[in-house]
Homo-oligomer: A and B are copies of this chain.
Amino acid sequence: MDSYAFCVEPFTEDVNGLLALTVLGNQLLRVADYSASKHQFGFLNVKEKHHVWVLSRLIMEMNRRPKTYEKYHIGTWVNRVYRQFTDRLFQVNDSEGKPMGYAHSVWSLIDFETRMPVNLESDETKAIHDAVSDENVPIAPSGRIRLSDDAKETNRIIAYSDLDINGHVNSICYMRMAIDQVFTDYPALVHPKSHFVQRIEVQYMRESYFDDKTLRIKTEQRDKDTFLVEIIRNLPDGTGVESVVKAAVTLLPFEG
Which residues on A are within 8 Å of B, measured CB to CB? 9-17, 20, 22, 26, 29-30, 33, 43, 68, 157, 159-161, 163-165, 167, 170, 172, 176, 179-180, 183-184, 191-193, 210
User: Please, could you name 20 A-B residue pairs with CB atoms under 8 Å apart, sorted by A?
Assistant: A11-B29, A11-B30, A11-B170, A11-B172, A12-B26, A13-B164, A14-B161, A15-B163, A15-B164, A15-B210, A68-B165, A157-B184, A160-B180, A160-B192, A161-B179, A161-B180, A167-B193, A191-B210, A192-B210, A193-B210
Q: How far is the CB of A157 from chain B (nearest CB, A)?
A: 6
Given contacts A10-B43, A12-B26, 5 further A-B contacts (CB under 8 A): A10-B30, A13-B164, A20-B161, A22-B161, A193-B210
Given contacts A160-B179, A192-B160, contact A13 B167 (CB under 8 A): no
List of B residues within 8 angstroms of A12 by Cβ? 26
CA–CA, A12 and B30, complex, Å? 9
